[in-house]
Structure 1
């Protein structure tokens, strides 16, 4: 039986509207087992040049098509995601190493992203403006042309699709570079879905490759808008390079998010939520809770409950078991996580539970009494590590939560929700959740961080997407040419 991801269609190829064979290939593997997932074509900077040229040419007709045409493609893409949910779940679990609780909803989430993008295509095109002159004056939204998207490994479908879908819906073409480690689920899958949905050829290009391919997309003068999700260091480099051509960059970067647990919180509920925020998908989520700031009067109970949850989580192959925690994406990242934990213990943190690699996995880890300069507290870990620090007052909690260059997500746990809101207003963060953990996302909500976490809400919600993927153009119309004095 032919499936959506039948390798015969795409193995060893890149996608530029057709599946084109290229000299270099890459075989992605399951981080849990090392088993091969699929072989993709590896693009070069020359492929970027040809794809952008094609994208520019085909984009004009796409932008001129009726909004209902673009919306129809997005709705059909949503249907394709839904109809192929079991295959997508399996692929996501295998290639991204995500447990079933993470992999299972991916098709439904992707379908919802496409449905929201379809609605975006029908949004008002602009505003009718008042004018002191006898003319029609308006501000209208027009496509930017070609959008470059560079996506990460940890949530490879969603973090590509939330730029790809609205960009296409608004009349743009897209050149996508998925992370090479998840190039099938984060690249091939999207190309196959939009092929099946009837997207005209040449509007979506999927070019797996290395840093040189990303640099070529960033440098190309005909790619005026870039959407990047990844590390803060890489985001800074992209912003600096893009500035040479005055490009707009939409950067969703790292985080070291805090959960503040006030003394009146439900300790068991807050600890369970905190565990989800730290250990979901082995902590490989930008919004993950890195810092647990807990009032000193309840800290002992909170640490004990958090450690109990962590110790009870099951590690395992997410594609073939119902494990709670899957593998770290690769050995380099696993070893980095372990080094941050051991260095933090050496700096004075107390290891409560975990702290050891187990093959490709890392045992969920709780550190207490963590010094402010310990790497597991100071920096983004991107692994299943929770650092707990105590505070004595709201002012101290605000100071601790704010003492970071990052500003992505914040959780506050308290029975007094107005106190929680007032405290949150004093802490820089792009996303705030009262009585919830830090990992939250919805297609209808603006998403983005401040500080080293990015340049604000650039994804999610119609307003943010319109701002991200269109230009605002002023247009006036007169019935006749005015009489100028010369």
Structure 2
């Protein structure tokens, strides 16, 4: 066992709060939250520990990450249990997240052994550019996929010689924080290199504002991301933002509708739609829209809603009452504006029924807003040009997908979509540790996680020249 069910982070000095299981309302344990003073003290330790870590042999850094990967495998049941209980996630979602996190560790370990610079053309001197770590990197992670959305930044940042200060959401301090801290401790990571600081916005603000932390990696809502970006700009520090999405799947007239409705249902209902990659808009050709709606509504109606600790549950709870109220507001206001509820549209406690909305138009909240709930709004189009215009009619630009019997046709259409990631004949919910992950517009500032993109995110260029003797200048 890596952590107990009692109080975690007892050494912090902020408020003590209960850890609540959203499915049952039970108290799982307690945690102390990080105060601004805790953040400042952690930054001091992190900054002090980082130089020696950067000078550690790359193979030694990689070995620690690989040990962590093995430990996450060995303790998979414990990780899955906490993911189910803290996040309200079904076992399959949580197991996938644990496996993905292990993949992030393995991929990051490989980074440590890669070339980190280039020899530059020059005369009379040696000239080269090299990638060097930032120093102390701040990572702020959300509650929906707290393990992997932390690990995708923590692992490469450590692999490339940085120390890390991780602020998990206060609602998921164990799955997104304590387990990660214990994992790296067991793997042999030296003290001070990973400081975990669960907290609310005040802890995040303190981390972003600290001038000793030159780089911030933030994953969360667009609203919060703008605040983080503004604070980071005041201190002239790098910030990587991975924010919300209002992602579209385009279903062309030639699509296999059984497959397309399965892709659509998975994209909208997985983890109750509480994913930045969730399919928020279903754009369907008029010729097949009625049949697609029938199939999608039938799939929604068959999904079992309930306690995710039960093996056959497919839809768990919304994370909290405030989030649920926002989901229902969007559904009911869109229905009042003329959308038809073909399935769902109801809730009990924190459990919102998988919902399908027909007749959604671009003026309705179900089209314009990021819902972050298990809702599938369907909008009809008549031509590919109209489909592209509808898909791009959003401030967001995270991911999109196209479903068609002609992959090349789908590829050409995908090239016209304003999104950081596009998938032909697959769901919008896609990730891979080796792929450059990120969005544009209100979905992010162009930063990318994964594979070679991690070099750009977690290191910076330094130009170095060397001469035999100083040259004679005319002054």
> Normalising by structure 1, what TM-score?
0.96
Distance of 1:278 and 1:7 partners within structure 2? 32
Contact 1:13–1:22 (8 Å) recurs in 2:
no
1:279 aligns with 2:269: yes
CA shift for structure 1 position 210 = 1.6
- Of 399, 412, 431, the residue aligned with 2:421 is 431
Which of 214, 230, 235 is the aligned partner of 2:225?
235
SS in 2 for 1:104: helix
Distance 1:151 1:179 in 2: 6
Q: Residue deviations 1:185-231, cap 9 Å, x none?
A: 00111101000100000111111112111110111111111111110
Whether the 8 Å contact between 1:52 and 1:223 is mirrored in structure 2 is yes
State the 1:376 CA deviation: 1.4
Task: Select 1:5's aligned residue among 3, 6, 20.
Answer: 3
Following the alignment from structure 1 to structure 2, what is the Cα–Cα distance between the partners of residues 312 and 477?
69
2:317 matched residue in structure 1? 327
**Is the CA contact 1:32–1:327 (under 8 Å) kept in the aligned structure 2?**
yes
SS in 2 for 1:471: strand
CA drift at 1:150: 0.6
**Residue of 356, 365, 369 corresponding to 1:375:** 365
Query: Kindly tell me: are residues 385 and 7 of structure 1, through their superposed partners in 2, closer, same or farther at Cα, counting changes over 3 Å?
Result: closer
| Deviation at residue 107 of structure 1 after TM alignment | 2.4
Residue 439 of structure 1 and its aligned partner are, at CA, apart by 0.1
1:156 matched to which residue of 2? 146
Q: Distance in 2 between matches of 1:403 and 1:323?
A: 35
8 A contact 1:100–1:322 mirrored in 2: no
Aligned residue among 109, 112, 127 for 2:100:
109
Structure 1, unpaired ranges of 5+: 15-19
Q: CA deviation at 1:447?
A: 0.3
2:135 to 138, 145, 159: 145
Deviations 1:457-480 (A, max 9, x none): 421112x11111111000011122
Instruction: State the match for 1:470 in structure 2.
Output: 459
- State which of 190, 199, 215 in structure 1 corresponds to 2:180: 190
For residue 235 of structure 2, give the secondary structure of its aligned residue in structure 1.
Answer: coil
CA contact (8 A) 1:88 1:106 kept: no
Deviations 1:144-170 (A, max 9, x none): 001111100000000011011100111
**Could you tell me how far apart the structure 2 residues matched to 1:328 and 1:129 are?**
54
1:341 to 2:337 alignment: no
CA deviations 1:255-299 (Å, max 9, x no partner) are 010000000110110011100000000000000001000000000
Shift of 1:44: 0.4
Distance of 1:210 and 1:204 partners within structure 2: 19
Shift of residue 6 of structure 1? 2.7
Identify which range, 473-482 or 20-29, moves more after superposition. Answer: 20-29
Aligned partners of 2:12 and 2:338: how far apart in 1?
54
Listed as ranges, the gaps of 5+ residues in structure 2 are: none
Change (3 A) 1:423 1:23: closer
**How far apart, CA to CA, are the structure 2 residues paired with 1:237 and 1:90?**
33
Match of 2:200 in 1: 210
Q: Out of 105-114 and 410-419, give the one that drifted further.
A: 105-114
Deviation, 1:484, is: 2.6
**Alpha-carbon offset, residue 21 of structure 1:** 4.9
Structure 2 distance, partners of 1:13, 1:352, is 46
Is structure 2 residue 401 aligned with structure 1 residue 403? no
Change in Cα spacing, 1:21 to 1:426, as seen in structure 2 (3 Å) is closer
Q: Aligned to 2:284, which of 279, 294, 298?
A: 294
Query: Quick check: 1:12–1:22 contact (8 Å CA) kept in 2?
Result: no
**Residue 81 (structure 2) pairs with residue 85 (structure 1):** no
Q: Against the structure 1 CA distance between its residues 23 and 411, is the aligned structure 2 distance closer, same or farther, given a 3 Å change threshold?
A: closer
Q: Secondary structure at the match of 1:157?
A: helix
List aligned pairs for 1:413-452, cutoff 5 A.
413-452=403-442
Q: In terms of mean alpha carbon deviation, does 235-244 or 252-261 score higher? A: 235-244
Aligned-residue offset at 1:306:
0.2
Conserved 8 A contact 1:293-1:388: yes
Aligned length: 475
SS in structure 2 at match of 1:270? helix
1:39 aligns with 2:30: yes
Q: 2:51 aligns with which of 60, 77, 96?
A: 60
Aligned residue for 1:485? 474
In structure 2, the partner of 1:17 is none
- Deviation, 1:305, is 0.1
Paired residue secondary structure (2:2):
coil
SS in 2 for 1:181: coil
Structure 1 stretch displaced more, 325-334 or 20-29: 20-29
Cα RMSD of the aligned pairs, angstroms, is: 1.1
